[in-house]
Structure 1
């Protein structure tokens, strides 16, 4: 079931069976397959990854799919400047009324806005998570999703056709 654009939702990011963070967002679109929400940077303070800084005032437009094993988050600075796209490898989003629940599977991808190199992140965390042993199908789906996103990010037009 889809819900109206402009409605308030809660995004719940889980990892290894625990809630990692919960934050309010505004639903921008929901076509029954993809849910798009917008939310300000929800964590306290600044998070400096070395290649990008997430900080108060940053605005995230987040794309979640009910049939894909990833989420793509467009990140803009408070002045509207595009910082890039942070891609989480996740199980497909689950929606229950106004709550979107996403399970983080440790793998991430950073896509810079200037066509610079796409960065694969947290592969060591993924390997150490034990997911391949606990749930081999999920681990395989996660690795396929990472490859799919990396391929899309490196193609002409980057992630734009996916997010269209």
Structure 2
């Protein structure tokens, strides 16, 4: 058995993904744990939102499947988005505090910065920088704000310049 299949087998099961924003639970949903290598935990879940969410550059809708990657040591999460038929839409990257992972939960604190990377990588969009500025994090926790901006910069650089580096994050 390869290391990847061993990790997948050892990490199998169901967990609740809990997204916290501004100190409150924004959303909670069940996901199937795919792998956990001690730093990165990967899960898969159907679109957990209500109905269709049209961002203009992508639509999330019932039937979409998210393969989500969370790190205990990194300040972001990467979510691969596919249609129910398996067609890649792209990657939605959330800047977060490092994930807190237990046997039954993956808890992430959203820091308002996001990056969208289209399936063919011709579209890379920084999102919600205005929300991040308005959050007050730079004043209340300057170190966390700096780490958040560095995480967004790293993701954007990898997405724009290094296709192998970007996809290697979650292979």
Q: Is TM more than 0.5 here? A: yes
Structure 1 equivalent of residue 154 of structure 2: 148
The alignment yields a C-alpha RMSD, in angstroms, of 1.3
- Please say if 1:161 is aligned against 2:168: yes
Correspondences of 1:9-158 after superposition (within 5 Å): 9-157=15-163
Provide the C-alpha distance between the structure 2 equivalents of 1:69 and 1:93, rounded to a whole number of angstroms: 8
DSSP 3-state at the match of 1:163: coil
Bigger shift: residues 94-103 or 12-21: 94-103
Contact 1:28 / 1:38 at 8 angstroms: preserved in 2? yes
Deviations 1:11-63 (A, max 9, x none): 00000100000000000000100000000000110100000000000000000
TM-score, normalising length from structure 1? Answer: 0.96
DSSP 3-state at the match of 2:155: helix
Which stretches in structure 2 are left out of the alignment for 5+ residues?
1-6
Provide the C-alpha distance between the structure 2 equivalents of 1:121 and 1:109, rounded to a whole number of angstroms: 6
Shift of 1:144: 0.3
Contact 1:35 / 1:64 at 8 angstroms: preserved in 2? yes
Provide the C-alpha distance between the structure 2 equivalents of 1:143 and 1:160, rounded to a whole number of angstroms: 20
Deviations 1:95-151 (A, max 9, x none): 122111000000000000112131000000000000101111100000000000001
Which stretches in structure 1 are left out of the alignment for 5+ residues?
none
Poorly superposed stretches of 4+, deviation over 4 Å:
none
DSSP 3-state at the match of 2:78: strand
Contact 1:4 / 1:27 at 8 angstroms: preserved in 2? no
Shift of 1:4: 3.0
Q: If each structure's helix is expressed as a fraction of its own residues, which one has the higher value?
A: 2
Provide the C-alpha distance between the structure 1 equivalents of 2:163 and 2:138, rounded to a whole number of angstroms: 33
